[in-house]
Structure 1
Amino acid sequence: MKPYFRYFIMAGLCFSMHLSLAQKSKVERKIVQTIDKHNDQYIDLLKKSVSINSGTMNFDGVREVGKLYKQELDALGFETTLTSGQAFNRAGHLVAKHMGKKGPKILLIGHLDTVFEPENPFQEYKMLNDSIMNGPGVADMKGGDVIIIAAMRALKEAGVLDDMSITIVMTGDEEKSGSPLELSKKELVDAAEWADIALGFENADGNPKTIVVSRRGSLSWSLEVKGNAAHSSQIFTDKVGTGSIYETSRILNEFYTQLSGEHNLTFNPGFIIGGTQVKMDEDGGGGTAHGKTNVVSESTIVRGDIRAVSLEQLEKAQKVMQDIVSKNYPKTSAVLTFAENGYPPLGLTDGNNQLLKVYDQVSKDLGFGPVDPVNPRNAGAADISFTAGYVDMAVDGLGLSGADDHTVNETGNLNMVPVQAKRAAVLMYRLSRD
């Protein structure tokens, strides 16, 4: 644990409760007023950024969004850089730094890209009513990026930003990470090593009354099964055995039987191909299979992912899966491999719980009600997971409330832009006070 937090973990809640007795301070009132004053500008900024296609593989579009946000942060005194993603075949990231002299070092995390590439028909926003916007990336997560900017401006105009140490990393490949992952996430990990606290501005489960204190990690896996090709009339004989498809079905069924009851663990076979001949596509996202009904299958390939809430849970599940794979049907063999890199779990820590309590108190003091933790089962992998093991406190879900992420029905509630910005700015102000 970093030295600053040996004190903070124990004393932080008491400090927050002390502040709450007086409700909002003069500085906090100024923060609230500033956000309300400029809210129309933030909504315009959100509309402008949503109108720019920034599908992960549209490098020009991702960079254009990065330039838009860079201008805003430059004006607030941040030192900003749009990094190159050439080494990992992506657009690169926006990194903004502001070095103060007081309080903890805070990392804010967003991302510039969306899942909607230029060929997707979902390219423009529309207002469904006076507050609900339907648009590509409005909730995941351009709304969160705009909230970061709104909070920074509020802290600036309240006269407290100058003393604060803040690094902002908005990645350009959160939705489809570049490879190798250690290069793709280098700026993020470097910032996490520097920071004491990490705040993520994803939209969590879309409910503004919740926040993420724990996220499951994600790791891909591949299963390759071999059998003896022969005439189907000879299946189950000592010489031929069962074939690869039967062996694959046994393995997948045992995965389900032995592990599906494990709390917060999921494992999903995303696709399967099997037959006499199989061939994977170069990108690993599919393939082709050929065979006949009267021929025993020779090869089967399955690809999927596994999600766990802790490294311990992941390792335990991997051992069970490998044990299942090793107990083959007659005349078959199978190899299960896990990717070397994936999204690590953001485990639940005392520090994360402490940060939740401070945020909860901030929300109550601002009149927005209590905040509860999101069930990890409802929170997918996200960039904040790469701060695990580096920072002493981390929460995610400070972004814009919305629904139906990654679909043409994605929406964001514009009424929540000022609410989330106020919560985030006041939280950072309180954290900055020793």
Structure 2
Amino acid sequence: MAIALGILVLVVVTVLFHFLSPWWFTPIAADWEFLDLTVDITFWLTGAVFIALNGFLIWVILKYRHREGLKAHYEPESKKLEWWLTIVTTIGVVALLAPGLWVWGKFVDVPDDAQPVEVVGQQWHWNYRFPGADGQLGQADIALVSPANPFGLKADDPAGQDDIVVNDAVLHLALGQPYKLVLRSRDVLHNFTVPQFRVKMDLVPGTTSYQWLKPTRTGQFDVLCEELCGIGHFAMRGAVVVDPPEDFQAWLDGHPTFAEFSGRAEPDVTAGRALYATCSACHGPGGEGNEMLNAPRLAGQQPEYLMRQLRNFKHGLRGASSDDPFGMQMAPMASTLRDDAAIANVVAYIDSLEVEAPAGTITGDTERGAKLFGTCASCHGKQGQGIWALNAPRLEGINDWYLKRQLQNYRQGIRGSHPQDLYGKQMNLLSGMLRDEQSMNDVVAYINSL
């Protein structure tokens, strides 16, 4: 009796949990209601079978419980029962599979008016590419990937010259426009997922896959990688913004074509020297940094990282929090660089500077720090040299007091809190492994030893 009662409680609690639970799909934002319907059908069918089987089990326990004078009847075979089980099971399997096959048929049948968009995944970042006026995406080759050609496009392919490159983790789409997302990986297996869109697909190295959708409401939605792709998998985030068509077109027009991106003029180091005169007041004439002015060393840092940080300061992604007074000091200084060309020029000049690595000011357990740095090394390199392909800056040779302050800012959410600072959000998550100040001291002391 106790077993039957326990099974009954289990069934009741399970059913109540399903209907009363606040956890369910996020509101859909694409024309894929069929997937929700398929899942609902699966829940109803499996739920009915769950209740029926447990109800039958309760009935069997009660009816055939041990009683004095009763003897069990042994019947090893029953063709009637086997036929009924075969028929009912077949109906159930067909009811489960048929909706999925129907939806899969729609999934692989891309509408003729779907606009192609390339999604490029890498550890741990997303990039995007739109076709130009010819409506075709140019050819790409992973072997051609470099800081000057992050998509690896073939320069001799005329179809790729007008492709619009979005070297950013935020993708914009137009409301009501069907899209075919062509998926490509630069390194390992990834999976492009926007929960509100319902559709998802793996990115397989060496080939391309695809999914299609039509956005049905405006808003910003998270992009997730739902394939274990390495130590930073959980922090591989991006965003999709669905805009009205006119806003989408304005956003798209603000990005360069591949021809414009690859044909940019080389930075002017001489012009950069003049622009750096303002920076030198704090960061020093040789980019050596000045702790008294809370200005870190700039010489030796990766140019791509410096350019991104100057843009972040300029556009309010960094230095907008009142809890970051030193960042607030940098924001107006970055605004003196009027455009990307000026930023490129001053960064090119900084890249030409050479100074000795600063002396360490923080002590800690370097042996313990080496173990903690094992996670950091996955992005920043074993020697803290930085890896541009992972958007990870150089750590070796950077002022230790500055590194510690940035780790504190990440942990406290002072830095990386802006919704468009996706790399900052990655560091918010990863800096959580340093649970206290001593851990920060240890890892920074180890970086000093590199």
TM-score range, shorter chain: under 0.3
Greater helix proportion: 2
Greater Rg, structure 1 or structure 2? Answer: 2
Greater strand proportion: 1
Higher relative contact order (CA 8 A, sep 6+): 1
TM normalised by structure 2 equals: 0.21
TM normalised by structure 1 equals: 0.21
